[in-house]
Structure 1
Amino acid sequence: MDLLQELKDKAGLTNEQAQKTFEILKEFVNGKVPVFLAGTVDKWFKDIEKRAGESNKENDFLEH
């Protein structure tokens, strides 16, 4: 299940609230990792955004 859907289902957030929460999480995580990992974190979050709404777990590294 993708992060945005989990935020909506488990926290009862609207789509807009889930999107904002996602952005806050992304900024928070980027602020906690060393600078040299920021690009990797950005890629993770871009992949999550790209997969939003997809149910293909085959290519989801978090599902393995």
Structure 2
Amino acid sequence: MQELIQQVQERAGVSAEQAAQAIEAVKDFVKSKLPPMLAGNVDTWFSGLANTPKQDKDDDFLA
């Protein structure tokens, strides 16, 4: 999660606190658009960000 906060901070030119708040807002927005049975997966995914190794940009499956 720290890596995501850092990327948002650098790209948007905001503080770490502002970046964390922005990420939280995005997470809440995504959860609000999903059925309740899937919304919990968003929390799991975001919490998993803190435990995953850094990937190369070439490995980005969402590109």
Q: TM-score, normalised by structure 2?
A: 0.70
Give unmatched runs, 5+ long, in structure 2.
none
Unpaired runs of at least 5, structure 1: none
Which of structures 1 and 2 has the larger relative contact order (alpha carbons within 8 angstroms, sep 6+)? 1
Q: Which runs of 4+ in 1 moved over 2 A?
A: none
- TM-score, normalization: structure 1? 0.70
Partner of 2:18: 17
Q: Which whole-Å deviations, capped at 9, do the CAs of 1:11-51 have from their partners, x for residues lacking one?
A: 00101101111111111110011111112111011122x24
Of 39, 42, 57, which aligns to 2:54? 57
Q: Partner amino acid for 2:34?
A: V
CA distance in 2, matches of 1:57, 1:15: 19
Q: Residues of 2 paired with 1:63 and 1:37: CA distance?
A: 23
Quote how far apart the aligned CAs of 1:57 are: 2.3
Q: CA RMSD in A?
A: 2.1
| C-alpha distance in structure 2 between counterparts of 1:26 and 1:4, whole Å | 13
Number of matched pairs? 56
